[in-house]
Structure 1
Amino acid sequence: MSENLTLSRVSFRRSGLEWFSSLPACLLLLSVVLFSTSSDIHNQMLKGGEHLWSGYYKLRMDPVAPTCNPNRDVDAAVAAELAQTPAEDDPMAALLGAEEKDPAEVRVAIERALADCRQAFQSYDQIQDQLTPGVKAYRAVELFVADLIAFGLSSQRYILIILVMLCAVTATLTRHHIAMRAMETRLDYTVSHTLQTIANAMLLGSSVIFRQSTLGSETSVSSEELLLHNFWITGFACLTLASLYRLLRVPEDLAAGGNLNKAFLAVPLYTVMCLISGTYFGLIGHASGIGIYLGKMMELSDMFLNVALYVWVGMMLKQTRLATLVFNVFRPWRMPPELLAVVAVLVAAIPTAYTGASGIFVIAAGAVIYNELRAAGARRQLALAATAMSGSMGVVLRPCLLVVVIAYLNREVTTDELFGWGIWVFVLTATLFTLVALTVNRQSRFELAPASVATPAMVQALKPLLPYVLVIAGVVLLYRYALDVGMDEFSAPRLLPVILLAILGYEHLCLKTGGQADDADSHPGLERSLRGATNDTTAEIGALLLLLGLSVSIGGVIERSHIMQSFPQAFDSAWSAMALMVVILVVLGMIMDAFGAVILVTATVATIAYASGIHPVHFWMVTLVAFELGYLSPPVALNHLLTRQVVGEAEVTAAQQESGTFYQRHERIIMPLIAMGIALVLVAFVPLAFYAT
């Protein structure tokens, strides 16, 4: 996925310069958590204020003294009002239809106005009396939190742009962008960075043209919108300079020579998408197209910031001992490699759901899963297959961000419906993967350790996990009872970073030995763990969010080219419509990031499916499974690219050189395809038998 990642990362860290990018990124991510949590704090402060002082909402602002006269003379006021009654012989009054006022009605009206005036003065005096120093102090804090929330909401888009551009530059400088293969030769390096520079220049030019066309339009441009344009232009200018710098500074550790066809495979995917979309928009005379579609990210800034938070959560999870401790629980049973692979994939479904997407979890825990399976005797192909699959099953479980995004963009479905059916889809895919792993090409005897031996050791291995459970429960209960926020798909993005920070803090206080030995209980410390997690996060956010943004641009190409218009907008048969949907969705999963693909599918394919009689919930469950199959399918196979990154190029190369049958030599690709392929067929077509006409 990224070439020479280890060497570039090491040199970058040893120089001490990583904080120039990761420290601002850390502060930005913490600010997102703070701004989102401040709304919960503010809600509780309003409730607390009302509990302490009845009618607190009236005390939030200083009262304004009424301007009426509470001592008004009623008789004099009635006489003055009646004196203004026009004379009967006034021709103008007769022409306007003026009528003589009834003295009784005038008196009643004046008395009511006087009563209202006195009530206003009474309320004013009561509020003034209630404005004690304590109320004023409490109000000052509460209004500060309210202003903080307002500032946070207004700054979300700026935070996203700064975060994306900062991390994209970091990914470029550390050579961490997502590509089909690693950069191994000088030719790979030159071709990749030349095309990156061209693509980044395209992004810069498109953003400048978009800004100029916006200023030249008849509609007025707000200062906020103009500032966003300037942020994009500045960011892409820095990204272009970073790629040009990398192009001119060729590393000495690269091999000489190279193959041009392989060199093109080392070009980052975002670069390929940018060149395709930029060329298309340029040919149709719409040079600002990429800038426009990237600008659409601002409409969903909270969603993309949640993606960044989930990446950060995944990287912090990677810094903890949780994955290793969980594997220790199953180690006493001495499971055969195939069974241990099944257990690893099933257990990984839960953290996958809580880290937002399959790729994030593969990056966070893939290395641990692979190493544990290898230590248990698993062949390389099986271990690679399980590592790639480890992030595929949990995307249908609560509180996965991808499902929340689907429900947000599509009013036809709700998160409860999707997560409800997602459980059954998870059971299906888990069952199929278990059957494939334990029956197809099983090479180990199915013998477990005796329960009398394994159970006590398993119970003993559970003990180190108890403090982690208590830390997690403590944070969840704190939010639940102090802020009235439960753990669900909507609160997870702001709770999970706090939980992982608490876990890192626990490990720092209780497990740090002060050394750097490889002892199981050694811990580098909170600052180094947080720094390491954020270092990884900056590069991953830059790679993923830039890829996601260009996926949206590719979606714009598909949308503007009217490719979908060539298909019928509705099918007479839901079965034929579903067959076409399956093919389209798998292909989209192969070439696009999940979030960008969801946006495109919402705008195009979904409406065709609904019109053809496919139930919306059914359609989106098929979409999720099809996407996961796409991430496991060549030629791109994103989850396999991420697996190669975390386990190392050498392990993948060694696996490819192993001998055996065709299946054994390609088990890492074929096994996931069999399991997810059968699951997709069943999820897509079996429900149609119950409701399709």
Structure 2
Amino acid sequence: MTTASPSFKIANRSVGEWISSLPTLIILLITIFVASGEIIHSQLLKVGENTWEEYFLLRGAGVVGEPTCDKNPDIDEQVRRTVEQREADAADDPLAGMFGTDIDEDAIRRSIERSVQVCQGRWSRFERIEERVTPGVRAFRTVEVGVSRMITGIGESKRTLLALLVLICAATATFSRHHIAIRPVRTVRDHYVSTTALLAANTMLFVSSIQYRERQLMSIAEGISVSHYNLNLIWITGFGVLAAINIYHLAKRPAGLEAGGNFGKALLTIPLYGFMSLTAGSRFMLDGYYHGMSVYLGMMMEHSTLFLNLALYIWIGMMLKQTRMAQLVFNVLRPWNMSPELLCFVVLLVTAVPTAYTGASGIFVIAAGAVIYSELMRAGARPQMALATTAMSGSMGVVLRPCLLVVIIAALNNQVTTTELFGSGVKIFFLTAFLFFIYSQFARKEPARIAPFREALPESIRRLKPLIPYVILMALVIMFFGQLLDRRLDEFSAPIILPVILLVILLYEYVFSKKTAEALGLDADKTSGNEARPTGFEPALRKATNETTGHIGALLMLMALSVSVGGIIERTGLMESMPSEFASIWIAAAILVVTLVGIGMIMDPYGAVILVNATIAQVAFAAGIDPLHFWMITLVAFELGYLTPPVALNHLLTRQVVGDDEVEKSKLTTGSFWDRYEKFLLPIAVMLTALVVVAFLPLAWDGLHEWLFKKVAVGG
């Protein structure tokens, strides 16, 4: 995304790239540096300890001053002075006689001798350390301490980095009209309704930030300490810029809009975060809580590391989009000549892993949705089924390691661990995949087919060759982190390691891939999907970052306002209206399922998890539902919500990457109800069935519950 006309450039870069994409890239690189820097510093300390005994003490040499005590004092003289001082004090104290005037010189001498021993120990340690500080120690210590100070200094500014990232990217998404809405802007009325509503929403955020600033100043005047005082200035400036962009859009509407328009449909073009801001802001104002949205933005900042990691996952997804990997994987599948329904099933199995590694369902849809849709259409899939599969491609892997959403759940409460969640998630993944296979086969329009193994297998194996270098590069990066930095690839290190892997792959593709492909007798010039890819490492990285900027702005603004919507739900006591006791665990499960699906339909996953953990989770636990069981229900219910109208976030993201015109062409006016709405009905049928099975069957069979939600003993 760029925020300026591409016709005007500076150093062959648009103005938008200088003021939005470049700062975004810098913040993302700083985030990786801070996270990897902590690992590097830990390894430096290990190297120091392994190289020089007591390095932890040696690193303080020259920094910690020499002891100030006298290591060879005249003990007799000190005893004499102490006795004289105590006698003088007793003479001046009129009450001294009541407690006795005897002075124990032996006790004084023992005390001074012990102090001298302590002092001599300090001097001995200091001199020993100074003697052992070689030029090598000094050089190593300079590097190690420098890294420590740099990492600590930058790490303390994570909230500021996140606030800057959100607002820079939000400004980009606003200027480029990239925010997520149910319908795209097509008519003049759509434009004015959408832009006016956004102006009102951003003005509310601006006013809320100013009100919060005034509260901070009042607290300071009363002598109350205020943390992160300057952070609110970023919000005030940022929301002011967003409102100014809306005013500019009202003054200069885009060309090519259709005349007229329907007011009811125009309301659907208002970005979702705008609806949330208007709803939350209005409610807070009615309560006299004018700075409410800023308070909940502060709560988002408390989880700055998680949201910065989410931004990294978006960047990972956009870099993945610039590679040939998705195209090469489809090349491997093509010789099997599978029927469309079977190919859709295989695609969902294959895409589950990258979905887990890109952090959330929506990110993978953005990254690979266009390729998935075009390849399914090329294989003869119905447009409605291709759209359904594209939307679901981001749903299957959210329960697999190392999905960030699962990590957040484990971080927010101590009833479950990531090992337990991912263990149950694998079983639920295969259940969901099996259900998709069954439903898709019942809905097929032609006989199932697959090419003979003797024909397809050799060709498929031959097409695996171009993927070998990618596997080798991934293994080398993972080995580098594992062997040199002692960090294996898991849910905690993935946000650090995966960007490095993608950067290495981009560098490989645009430096070595053509020569490698020629050596293997393959075509290296194929593009990914229907979109021509830039040639060169820097152009590819720049394009990935440009797209990342808009997507971060759209998704993080949606998440930021979801936290405020969660605040409304929490403040209105809606969750407290749920009964604290249920007639049976079955009724409790049914009510919780409906509630969780409803939340998934209106909130983003991360904001929803925070809300659910603070409210509904405790109700479920009190009703007798096992924590691990509850969170698996929650994950499946959320995915059902993201695939269910009226919002259906995954379908909205599919529309963004596939194109409005393509989605409109896929609509049917004839045929059965299923045929006309298959893109919604197929995912709903699969996820609803999975939700019913996961939520209720384990309550009926203890053996199934024990197998599906197996607890992992601590240390086991």
What TM-score do you get using the length of structure 2 for normalisation?
A: 0.91
Deviations 1:518-542 (A, max 9, x none): 6459861111111111111110000
**Structure 1 SS opposite 2:14:** coil
| Alignment-derived partner of residue 654 in structure 2 | 643
Residue type of the alignment partner of 2:696: F
| Alignment-derived partner of residue 695 in structure 2 | 684
Q: How does 1:115-154 map to 2 (within 5 A)?
A: 115-154=117-156
Distance in 2, matches of 1:55 and 1:621, equals 48
| Alignment-derived partner of residue 536 in structure 1 | 547
Distance in 1, matches of 2:495 and 2:615, equals 28
| Alignment-derived partner of residue 294 in structure 2 | 291
**Structure 2 SS opposite 1:166:** helix
Q: Does 1:503 align with 2:501?
A: no
Q: How does 1:378-527 map to 2 (within 5 A)?
A: 378-438=381-441, 440-511=442-513, 519-520=526-527, 524-527=535-538
Q: 1:622 aligns with which of 626, 633, 636?
A: 633
Distance in 2, matches of 1:519 and 1:390, equals 23
* Contact 2:2/2:21, CA 8 A, preserved across alignment: no
Q: 1:582 aligns with which of 587, 593, 598?
A: 593
Aligned residue-pair number? 684
Deviation of 1:10 (Å): 7.7
* Contact 1:572/1:612, CA 8 A, preserved across alignment: no
Change (3 A) 1:15 1:264: farther
Residue type of the alignment partner of 1:18: G
| Alignment-derived partner of residue 618 in structure 2 | 607
| Alignment-derived partner of residue 266 in structure 2 | 263
Distance in 1, matches of 2:660 and 2:105, equals 97
Q: 1:235 aligns with which of 210, 234, 238?
A: 238
Residue type of the alignment partner of 1:320: T
Deviation of 1:115 (Å): 2.9
Q: How does 1:183-222 map to 2 (within 5 A)?
A: 183-217=185-219, 220=223
Distance in 2, matches of 1:172 and 1:163, equals 14
**Structure 2 SS opposite 1:635:** coil
* Contact 2:361/2:393, CA 8 A, preserved across alignment: yes
Q: Does 1:546 align with 2:557?
A: yes
* Contact 2:34/2:151, CA 8 A, preserved across alignment: yes
Residue type of the alignment partner of 1:584: T
Distance in 2, matches of 1:242 and 1:504, equals 34
**Structure 2 SS opposite 1:448:** coil
Deviation of 1:80 (Å): 5.0
Q: How does 1:4-15 map to 2 (within 5 A)?
A: none
Distance in 2, matches of 1:117 and 1:519, equals 75
Deviation of 1:15 (Å): 7.8
Residue type of the alignment partner of 2:45: L
* Contact 1:278/1:290, CA 8 A, preserved across alignment: yes
Residues 331-340 or 59-68, more deviating: 59-68
* Contact 1:191/1:263, CA 8 A, preserved across alignment: yes
Change (3 A) 1:12 1:475: farther
| Alignment-derived partner of residue 275 in structure 1 | 278
**Structure 2 SS opposite 1:69:** coil
**Structure 2 SS opposite 1:346:** helix
| Alignment-derived partner of residue 27 in structure 1 | 26
Deviations 1:489-543 (A, max 9, x none): 1111111111111111111211369xxx964598611111111111111100000
Residue type of the alignment partner of 1:16: S
Distance in 1, matches of 2:492 and 2:3, equals 39
* Contact 1:508/1:523, CA 8 A, preserved across alignment: no
Distance in 1, matches of 2:28 and 2:263, equals 40
| Alignment-derived partner of residue 66 in structure 1 | 67
Distance in 2, matches of 1:347 and 1:99, equals 89
Residue type of the alignment partner of 1:249: K
* Contact 1:512/1:524, CA 8 A, preserved across alignment: no
* Contact 2:2/2:546, CA 8 A, preserved across alignment: no
* Contact 1:338/1:444, CA 8 A, preserved across alignment: no
* Contact 1:168/1:541, CA 8 A, preserved across alignment: yes
* Contact 1:86/1:93, CA 8 A, preserved across alignment: no
Residues 407-416 or 612-621, more deviating: 407-416
Residue type of the alignment partner of 2:16: E
Q: How does 1:27-46 map to 2 (within 5 A)?
A: 27-46=26-45
* Contact 2:3/2:17, CA 8 A, preserved across alignment: no
* Contact 1:570/1:609, CA 8 A, preserved across alignment: no
Distance in 2, matches of 1:448 and 1:9, equals 49
Change (3 A) 1:7 1:420: same
Change (3 A) 1:74 1:359: same
Residue type of the alignment partner of 2:313: Y
Q: Does 1:595 align with 2:616?
A: no
Question: Among the aligned pairs, what percent are the same residue?
Answer: 51
Deviation of 1:197 (Å): 0.7
Q: 1:343 aligns with which of 341, 346, 349?
A: 346
* Contact 1:189/1:250, CA 8 A, preserved across alignment: yes
Deviation of 1:120 (Å): 2.1
Q: Does 1:365 align with 2:368?
A: yes
Q: CA RMSD in A?
A: 2.4
| Alignment-derived partner of residue 17 in structure 1 | 15
* Contact 2:180/2:271, CA 8 A, preserved across alignment: yes
Distance in 1, matches of 2:341 and 2:7, equals 38
What TM-score do you get using the length of structure 1 for normalisation?
A: 0.94
Distance in 2, matches of 1:32 and 1:207, equals 26
Change (3 A) 1:6 1:60: closer
Change (3 A) 1:523 1:506: farther
* Contact 2:6/2:14, CA 8 A, preserved across alignment: no
